[in-house]
Amino acid sequence: MQKNENTLCFSGHRSERLPKNSENLENLKLRIGEEVDKAIKEGTDTFYFGACYGFDLLCAEIVLMRKRVVHISEPKVIKLIAVVPYEEQPKNWNEENREIYFTTLAQCDEVITLNAKYHQGCFHQRNRYMVDNSSKMICYYDGSKGGTAYTVKYAEKNKVQIINLYES
């Protein structure tokens, strides 16, 4: 598959594994913003996110803020694309996460839903789709097992540039 040099994806843990302390969470948001700004400056115009609560929706929120900022001297059109593993993904989430999810998806340039129903492997399918269509990845990966580990390893294998914002 031909990678788009101007495309970046996000991968990271759910809310439970993000910084608990509000100052550390704010610092993470600032770092995401700095990396998104740097990517845009370097020509990135398309951002994929996996549409899950936690790091994904945090990154999407920051990209949406950047879309609202108009640079008169150098206008840039950036796209935010949600890659949803299956239609009912947010069904069992708490109300706050569901609300953020639907509000965010309504503001995306495109929503790609890969499956109608859940099936084993659909999250990995989503992660591969994002990596296969990106040349860069911003992640929050603490070294533990799970979907983020799978995605980071897949990105490494596929020579995607990885920026990990996790600090132990």
Mean pLDDT per block of 10 residues along the chain (168 residues) reads: 82 95 96 96 96 97 87 81 98 96 98 98 98 98 95 97 90
The closest of 63, 47, 56, 59 to 89, measured between CA atoms, is 56
For position 147, what pLDDT does the model report?
94
Rg of the chain in Å (alpha carbons)? 15
How much is the pLDDT for 3?
67
User: Amino acid identity, residue 124?
Assistant: H
Q: Which fold has domain 7-164?
A: Rossmann fold (3.40.50)
Closest CA to 97 of 55, 140, 142: 55
C-beta of residue 3 within 8 angstroms of C-beta of residue 135 = yes
SS3 at position 47: strand
What is the predicted pLDDT for the residue at 167? Answer: 81
Identify the CA nearest to 161 among candidates 125, 133, 136: 136
pLDDT value of residue 1: 46
According to DSSP, the residues that pair with 81 across neighbouring strands are 48, 110
Question: Whose structure tokens read 């992660």?
Answer: 127
Amino acid 65: pLDDT: 93
Q: How far apart are CA 46 and CA 77, in angstroms?
A: 9
Is the separation of the CB atoms in 10 and 137 below 8 Å? yes
